[in-house]
Amino acid sequence: MSSSIRLGRLFGIEIGVNWSLVFVFALIAWTLATELLPFEVSHQPALAYWVAGAAGAVVFYGCLLAHELAHALVAIRYGVKVAGITLWLFGGVSKLDGEPKSAGAEALIAGVGPLTSLAVAAVMFVLSLLPLPLLLSGVLAWLVFVNIALALFNLVPAFPLDGGRLLSSWFWWRSGSRQRGVHSAVRISRVFAYLMIAFGVFELFTGQVLNGIWIAFVGWFLLSAGTQEEVGTAVRGLLRSVPVSAAMTSPVVTVPDWLTVAQFIESIAPDHPFTTYPVHDPSGQLTGIVRLGDL
Ligand SMILES: [Zn+2]
């Protein structure tokens, strides 16, 4: 997710898009312009299909952004810092710095995304009922469909999807431990991921090659995301109970403050691997530090 293009800020949240979206944008516009819209509304000029297709792709990204912004704003409301939002191949990712403080907060942060997509679908549906140009109605009908699909796909109970987080928050609420919640949710996640991979391979053998590869790839992605989630939670849990003394270097080599820089470089620095040395005065009191890089 590092190779993203910055778009700007919204509600103080950094918004970016992953390079993969350029490809997906073209794919969506092309599918709309050459397949879906001509099928729904025939006998329009080619340019009209392409304009409608591109407009549909732009609004689709707006819908993705609404979904992710909902996550981010609820997260902020519950005291979780949001580093930014990146839109990419599978929709969007709200980068949360830290963890929700309660199972309820996690459930709300996760659940509001699919709810927002469903609400957007409802708005698009009402708009599509208005007497509008046929192509516009066609694009709106497609947006209703993709927003419902977005909500449903995100509700699949597998990490890093919202459904995985909802499941994890439920187990958290039941067990009282976030780590145990994640652990149980990841186990169920894995079952879904393996099922998707198996189904993808099955599709491959039945001749649905592209579909099969795609589904298997998503399954593999969910599998690795689940493992990452579990490792990340375990590491954060461990770090919470590890004192800094476990990470420090000892014994400590201190430098008397009356030593000259030349003496320090010749007599002390070559004998030790450190880059930083605490400095003490004649009474033994620590008075500062000296870094080799500063000399
Ligand atoms: Zn979501």
- Please report, for the chain, the start and end positions of each structural domain, with discontinuous segments joined by +: 1-155, 159-247, 255-294
CA of 175 to the centre of ligand 1 (A): 24
CA of 166 to the centre of ligand 1 (A): 11
Q: Tell me how crowded residue 136 is: count the other CB atoms within 10 A of its CB.
A: 16
Residues with CB under 5 A from ligand 1 (ion): 113, 154, 162
Please check the confidence at residue 48 and state whether its pLDDT lies above 90: no
CA of 30 to the centre of ligand 1 (A): 25
CA of 261 to the centre of ligand 1 (A): 57
The Cα 26–Cα 2 span in angstroms is: 21
Mean pLDDT, the chain, whole residue set = 85
User: What is residue 83's predicted lDDT score, i.e. its pLDDT?
Assistant: 81
Helix (H) or strand (E) holding 22: helix 20-31
Mean pLDDT, rounded, for 123-147: 89
More confident residue, 117 or 85: 117
CA distances (Å), origin 135, targets 24, 27, 149? 21, 19, 21
- Residues belonging to the active site: 68
**In the structure, what pLDDT confidence band is assigned to residue 92 with cuts at 50, 70 and 90?**
low
State the Cα angle at 156 between 197 and 99, rounded to 5°.
Answer: 115
CA of 113 to the centre of ligand 1 (A): 4
**In the structure, what pLDDT confidence band is assigned to residue 1 with cuts at 50, 70 and 90?**
very low
